Structure 1
Amino acid sequence: MKAGRTMGWLRWLVPAVLVMAWLGIAGVGGPTFGRLDEVSANDQASFLPRSAEATEAGDWQAKFRDSDEVPAVVVVESDTAFTPAQRGEAARLKAGIEALKLGSAVVGPIPSHDGKAVQFIVPIASSGELRDAVKELRDVVRPGAPDGMRAYVTGPAGLTADLVNAFGGIDGVLLLVALGAVFVILLLVYRSLVLPIMVLVTSMFALCAAILLVFGMAKLGWIQLNGQSQGILSILVIGAATDYALLFVARFREALTHTTHRTRAVLSAWKASFEPILASGATVIIALLCLLFSDLNSNKALGPVAAAGIVCALFAALTLLPAFMALLGRAAFWPFRPKLLPDDEHEPALVTGLEGQKGLWHGVGTLVSRRPRVVWIASVLLLLAASAGVLQLKANGVPQTDVILAASDAVDGQAALARHFDAGSGSPVVVVASEGAAQRVLDKVKAADGVGDAYLLAEGSVPITGAPGTPADPAVRDGRVLINATLNSAADSAEAEDAVQSLRASVKDADAGALVGGVTAIALDTNTTAQRDLAVIIPVVLVVILFILMLLLRSVVAPVLLVLSVVLSYGAAMGVSAWVFNGIFAFPGADATVPLFGFVFLVALGVDYNIFLMSRVREESLKHGTRPGILRGLGVTGGVITSAGVVLAATFAALGVIPIMFLVQLAFIVAFGVLLDTVLVRSLLVPALAYDLGARIWWPGKLSKEPGRLSKEPADVAGPAAREDGVAEGHTVR
């Protein structure tokens, strides 16, 4: 009696302790959401590797600056040439700008050649909050512009501020949209009020733990966090934790039809779901950590950030959710609580594998079993046709002015600059050369195609123009001089990148150690490095996933086919995405990192659903034989995996509310790809191919040698053994 009382206390105490522990984690991690800006950087240069030429040039450029300032460009334009009175009024605007004391001396007004615009160069000290400084500047410039004229704040500072503003919805709007979408889907799936809340609480607590872990890593300098990684982290944790929760809840519900003992049902569900959830989580974690092989800092940072999120989602799904279920029991499913089945209904006798199934999944199983070869060949042909669109994908980077999809004062200002000044004004190309080769390099720069003007820099950031009264000696740092060059093309255009490539080849003829950097060079090096990363990381991810699948399924053939199926699904998703981006959204292109991120997420997450399916198929095949096991596994997992796919697609689609082209494109690719994988690959292609091959799918494992039933043991939760509590049918169920 005493032992029974002790066990009763433990059944309540252990879940309660787990819930309290997670409450403590959420209590600390929740407030950390608002502090992520402290350890986040969104400037383009922070994405580059240390080895990039633009990075090295930027390091040298910093030595020539008296302070770490970011330039803003104020542009005032009119439809007609300025009158003398208007020029005087525009000049007086300088006093209002200088009164803000944002940084060092303001340069300007600089009139345009057509007389219809003036510009000011406003250095902004990086010690303060850049977004706030740009807002102050705009508040002065807009009302201070002459009547009938338009004023903009653009340049590197203006564009960065608008980019930060665009990311501003990540902590609020993004989470609300994602959680709202998941809640609605869960209500439809479970038709319960309590269970969706428990699943969402599990996801949110996992996110709080992930935020706390990521904040600590960033604070210690182990990772470099940016808004892009931050948004993906939130979506990934919510989606993954919900997927794992759906799998656990499905096994828990199944267990409750075989026993009245809530603790025994939780343990049975935990045992049944532990291996597929762990294998799924490990696959995604290791695939994400493969991003550490990237040369781009943004990719390299996303790996551990997202992996930390999956770790927290995994632990929450395997500890917090089981604790909730142990405390709630059948009440979690109210008002449609699972009923205890009679002993003779626990496990239908299987001949085809379709026994006991009805509705959609009975129809899918029937189709797969009757025409397996037709089904998988038709699926492959459909995916190949969709993959043809990959040839239309323009993933060579996009101009910085096209990255922000919302209204942007800085983007409008860049257009105004291009109308009246050299298009590259405000974002010069930076050339670092040795002191002895300064003049030769300067001559090469001035003669280069696409360069409008160039000058050596003297002390105090004063240009050496050759005009009377200007300093004659250039500034020298450790035997190096600095040359600024203004391009004829906009700094973020393809023409500007071509000019930088040509310039790099040209200046090295005069000085082998010369470096070319600046905004355009940063974009160019980012795109080049991203394409290199794609070629390096994709094979590594595939090998890692293949190895994990071999360990899980104890087979070689099945893992190879599963990996090939998700690669084909990825190709189809990218092909359809290319058609949508070009034909519907009319995007000018795609960020060079989009194919890599799309691959990592789609392949890792696509394998997830195949793991959920094939782990159950293997379990059923051990009891009933391969072909009946395939149909049985497809039927019992069909609903939960489809629900998981819809949830994950909805959470990634929520990224589309952030007006950043990269995130909108990634949202569509992953959402569409996950649905394609769930509906076509996992529901038709994989089962039909496995059914066609039969027991050969398990080669060289035991199942491939003995296609009949290997074991007639009942399931863990089936049969009279599950009724050790002695509660007879019809008694009160907890």
Structure 2
Amino acid sequence: MRRIAVPWGVLALWVAVLALAGPFAGKLGDVQHNRAVDYLPASADSTQVAKIQDRLPGGETTELVLVYHREGGLSSADRAAAAEQVADIDRKLSLVRTPEGVPSRSGDTVMYPVASTGPGQDEKARDAFVNDVRDLAHDTGAGLSVDVGGPGALATDASEVYQSLDGPLLYTTVAVVALLLILIYRSPFLWLVPLAVAGVADFLSMGVAYGLNQAFGTTISGQSQGVMTILVFGAGTDYALLIVARYREELRRFERPYDAMRAALRGCGPAVLASSATVAAGLLCLLAADLNSSRGMGPLGAVGVLCALVAMLTLLPAVLVLLGRRVFWPLVPAFGSRPKERRSLFTAMGSSAGRRPLTVLGVGAVLLGALALGAFALPGSLKQEDSFTDRPDSVVAMRTLAAAYPEASSQPITVIAPTGKATEAVATARDTDGVTDVTRGRSGSGWTEINVVAKAAPQTAAETATIEALRDGLDGRGAYVGGPSAEQLDLKDTNARDRLVVVPIVLAAVLLILVVLLRSLVAPLLLLAAVVAVWGAALGIGGLVFGPLFGFEGTDPGLGLLSFVFLVALGVDYGIFLMHRMREEVLGGAPTGAAALTALRTTGAVIASAGLVLAATFAVLTSMPLVQLVELGFVIAVGVLLDTFLVRTYLVTSASYALGRKVWWPGPLSRRLPGAPAAPPAEEPALTRTP
């Protein structure tokens, strides 16, 4: 009776949980923020500028640039039509300011900087305002084009891209995972079960993420929400592969599915728990980051992994038990049967690593080191206008401006100064090298807004030098320097700081967990060295293809840190499965070299399947229209593949074979003498390959 009651009870509990999470999951998109300033730490100058602007009359300003252009030169009729159109926009939308048009020296372009405080800091209101301007700023005649650019337009285009990610990202991920599961299981039904359970876990994670935002103010961005979905399906499917493989094995030993599932969970459950805890702990180290976007991604990633874990350890077993053996059709594991003996690819690979371990280890290390050198070819920091894989209206406008006005910036730098020191701040700004124009803007709440125009183009080295000179000159006067270019500079600087802080914490946390799990120091250091080498090689491959092959003109400043955290956490995840099996064999009396080969032979296929699924889910990000997502997905997918098919298969196995008992130093296994009685096998997972 219990064999039926328990699975049905688990299903009923999940129905209740989903009913509670449902209203919150649907609200996650409402708390998503994708402004650059939302990512920054509270201490950044540009963050202070944005907060003070919110308190000024009208609130935050949405700044745009209307760019009128005709190849071969503007006619007098073109200039008159442009001026009339801008005036019409001003009448209908009540712009803050509508200066005279600024013609280019080449005579083929005229720009009109315009702004509005109407939207304030409401992203939806800002997007509506920008789109209203675009509707009114239509082409006025054959050959005369008009594009809407500026910080507000770039922010709107980025926001619309992020808001459009949820559907395509989810559908593409589901399709990729479904295809791989069909190929792995070779069953018309079985693949549906883990996929459906992963979908349930994703729904739950959305509800939990919304709760975190409401309770603790956790930053939710389009990037972090997308990565959470990837982790739910990727990590969840990995856990499902391990559980289903062990369950299939136990069905040959137990007549009743309920008993077989209990044995399967006792066998592989500890390894799944340990690996998920390691991934979650690694991701939570991002809480030490100063950047809001990185700090928010840590909890969201951990939520995704833990929701996937809970679903795969409870809901998946319940559904499989209720469906019985027939879910494996046509390859049904019969009670008392034995799987067909096949020569495993991983047996051959392990044997080659065991014959010449030092040679394999040396060649692999040289290969990874050579690939890592490609990181020096990574393009410089990604500009805001280069963050799209295609060219929206705002990017077209900004590139037209860059070509038509090479001698001046089209994007002002914003200085906020105490009203009592505004005159002094204006004088300091005018005396700063690289500044071409300074004007006073709004005042209120004890602050004055000052607009500074640099000679250099936005987000260039010369403009960065001007911003830094402004900050140096205004230091001690209570003034702050902000604006889009300053925000990008603060993003870069904060990411650099976070790498120095978070990377050691991740390494220390993961090392500590591995030492406790493996009761060794050498084996954890070996695994950590392997995943760090994989990270360097994956970044190097990115450096070789991002510019020449993908045509990217910059690298996201957060790529190094985020890819490091994910690859270390996920790479060690697979290392745990391999080392657990190896340790089990050693406890059974096998020499470490033979144990390494046995572990590879018995776990290789399952780990390879899991690695393929995880790499494929992150590869889904490469189909998204934002450069930072493409870069992150590419580096992680390549890193997972390198880890699965090179590092785990050859390098860790050959290193373990070469080190022998020393790999377990200083634990008791390192001191066991050959021929000594073996300790009884521990209750640890015995992972097997998928038949």
Tell me the TM-score range normalised by the shorter chain. Answer: over 0.9
Question: Any residues of structure 2 matched to 1:689-728 within 5 Å, and which?
Answer: 689-706=655-672, 710-711=678-679
Q: Matched residues, percent identical?
A: 37
Question: Are 1:107 and 1:120, in contact at CA under 8 Å, matched by a contact in 2?
Answer: yes
* DSSP 3-state at the match of 2:324: helix
Greater shift, 125-134 or 51-60, is seen at 125-134
Residue 507, structure 1, aligned to residue 491, structure 2: no
In 1, distance between residues paired with 2:13 and 2:543?
Answer: 46
Q: Among 110, 123, 136, which residue is 2:132 paired with?
A: 136
Aligned CA distance change for structure 1 residues 72 and 25 (closer, same or farther; 3 Å):
farther
Question: Are 1:423 and 1:491, in contact at CA under 8 Å, matched by a contact in 2?
Answer: no
Which residue of structure 2 aligns with residue 185 of structure 1?
180
Which residue of structure 2 aligns with residue 445 of structure 1?
429
Which residue of structure 2 aligns with residue 675 of structure 1?
641
- When normalised by structure 2's length, the TM-score is 0.92
Letter in 2 for 1:607: V
In 2, distance between residues paired with 1:86 and 1:582?
Answer: 38
Residue 107, structure 1, aligned to residue 107, structure 2: no
- In the alignment, structure 2 segments of 5+ residues that lack a partner are 687-691
Which residue of structure 1 aligns with residue 545 of structure 2?
580
Q: Among 333, 336, 348, which residue is 1:363 paired with?
A: 348
In 2, distance between residues paired with 1:685 and 1:153?
Answer: 54
Q: Among 370, 374, 386, which residue is 1:402 paired with?
A: 386
* DSSP 3-state at the match of 1:142: coil
Letter in 1 for 2:144: M
Question: Are 1:433 and 1:513, in contact at CA under 8 Å, matched by a contact in 2?
Answer: yes
Aligned CA distance change for structure 1 residues 627 and 391 (closer, same or farther; 3 Å):
same
Letter in 2 for 1:516: V
Total equivalences in the alignment: 678
In 2, distance between residues paired with 1:190 and 1:547?
Answer: 36
Residue 121, structure 1, aligned to residue 114, structure 2: yes
* DSSP 3-state at the match of 1:636: helix
Which residue of structure 2 aligns with residue 311 of structure 1?
306
* DSSP 3-state at the match of 2:625: coil
CA offsets 1:386-440 (integer angstroms, 9 cap, x no match): 122223334x521110011122100111123334457765631122334555444
* DSSP 3-state at the match of 1:119: strand
In 2, distance between residues paired with 1:35 and 1:441?
Answer: 44
Aligned CA distance change for structure 1 residues 168 and 658 (closer, same or farther; 3 Å):
farther
Q: Among 338, 342, 366, which residue is 2:333 paired with?
A: 338
Question: Any residues of structure 2 matched to 1:16-27 within 5 Å, and which?
Answer: 16-26=8-18
In 2, distance between residues paired with 1:421 and 1:28?
Answer: 56
Question: Any residues of structure 2 matched to 1:421-432 within 5 Å, and which?
Answer: 421=405, 427-432=411-416
Aligned CA distance change for structure 1 residues 678 and 113 (closer, same or farther; 3 Å):
closer
- The offset of 1:324, in angstroms, is 1.6
Which residue of structure 2 aligns with residue 592 of structure 1?
557
In 2, distance between residues paired with 1:306 and 1:715?
Answer: 30
- The offset of 1:605, in angstroms, is 0.3
Question: Are 1:94 and 1:108, in contact at CA under 8 Å, matched by a contact in 2?
Answer: no
Greater shift, 520-529 or 577-586, is seen at 577-586
Aligned CA distance change for structure 1 residues 335 and 58 (closer, same or farther; 3 Å):
same
Aligned CA distance change for structure 1 residues 716 and 332 (closer, same or farther; 3 Å):
farther
- The offset of 1:99, in angstroms, is 5.7
Question: Any residues of structure 2 matched to 1:466-545 within 5 Å, and which?
Answer: 475=443, 477-478=445-446, 480-508=447-475, 512-545=477-510
Question: Are 1:210 and 1:312, in contact at CA under 8 Å, matched by a contact in 2?
Answer: yes
Q: Among 92, 114, 132, which residue is 2:84 paired with?
A: 92
Q: Among 242, 247, 256, which residue is 2:242 paired with?
A: 247
Greater shift, 255-264 or 591-600, is seen at 255-264
Question: Are 1:71 and 1:155, in contact at CA under 8 Å, matched by a contact in 2?
Answer: yes
Greater shift, 433-442 or 611-620, is seen at 433-442
- When normalised by structure 1's length, the TM-score is 0.87
In 1, distance between residues paired with 2:519 and 2:681?
Answer: 20
Question: Any residues of structure 2 matched to 1:208-219 within 5 Å, and which?
Answer: 208-219=203-214
Which residue of structure 1 aligns with residue 33 of structure 2?
41
Which residue of structure 1 aligns with residue 399 of structure 2?
415
- The offset of 1:660, in angstroms, is 0.8
CA offsets 1:321-368 (integer angstroms, 9 cap, x no match): 1112211232221111123446xx79x9xxxxxxx6613122122213
In 1, distance between residues paired with 2:23 and 2:608?
Answer: 34
* DSSP 3-state at the match of 2:364: helix
- The offset of 1:53, in angstroms, is 1.8
Aligned CA distance change for structure 1 residues 86 and 566 (closer, same or farther; 3 Å):
closer
- The offset of 1:72, in angstroms, is 2.5
In 2, distance between residues paired with 1:120 and 1:195?
Answer: 59
Which residue of structure 2 aligns with residue 10 of structure 1?
2
In 1, distance between residues paired with 2:558 and 2:14?
Answer: 35
* DSSP 3-state at the match of 2:547: helix
Question: Any residues of structure 2 matched to 1:605-684 within 5 Å, and which?
Answer: 605-625=570-590, 626-684=592-650
Question: Any residues of structure 2 matched to 1:54-65 within 5 Å, and which?
Answer: 54-65=46-57
- The offset of 1:136, in angstroms, is 2.6
Aligned CA distance change for structure 1 residues 545 and 483 (closer, same or farther; 3 Å):
same
In 1, distance between residues paired with 2:428 and 2:526?
Answer: 56
Aligned CA distance change for structure 1 residues 455 and 638 (closer, same or farther; 3 Å):
same
In 2, distance between residues paired with 1:273 and 1:310?
Answer: 17
Aligned CA distance change for structure 1 residues 422 and 11 (closer, same or farther; 3 Å):
same
Which residue of structure 2 aligns with residue 71 of structure 1?
63
Aligned CA distance change for structure 1 residues 432 and 129 (closer, same or farther; 3 Å):
closer
Question: Are 2:243 and 2:268, in contact at CA under 8 Å, matched by a contact in 1?
Answer: yes
Letter in 1 for 2:127: R
Question: Are 1:76 and 1:117, in contact at CA under 8 Å, matched by a contact in 2?
Answer: yes
CA offsets 1:529-561 (integer angstroms, 9 cap, x no match): 101101111111011111111111122221111
CA RMSD of aligned residues (A): 2.5
Letter in 2 for 1:384: G
Which residue of structure 2 aligns with residue 198 of structure 1?
193
- The offset of 1:514, in angstroms, is 3.1
In 2, distance between residues paired with 1:258 and 1:135?
Answer: 65
Letter in 2 for 1:572: A
CA offsets 1:569-619 (integer angstroms, 9 cap, x no match): 111111121112233223222111100000000010000110111112212
In 2, distance between residues paired with 1:372 and 1:540?
Answer: 32
Letter in 2 for 1:119: Y
Larger Cα Rg: Structure 1 or Structure 2? 1
In 2, distance between residues paired with 1:147 and 1:326?
Answer: 69
Greater shift, 494-503 or 532-541, is seen at 494-503
Which residue of structure 2 aligns with residue 464 of structure 1?
none
- The offset of 1:112, in angstroms, is 1.7
Question: Are 1:78 and 1:117, in contact at CA under 8 Å, matched by a contact in 2?
Answer: no
Letter in 2 for 1:514: A
Q: Among 221, 232, 235, which residue is 2:230 paired with?
A: 235
Aligned CA distance change for structure 1 residues 373 and 613 (closer, same or farther; 3 Å):
same
* DSSP 3-state at the match of 1:582: coil
Letter in 2 for 1:112: P
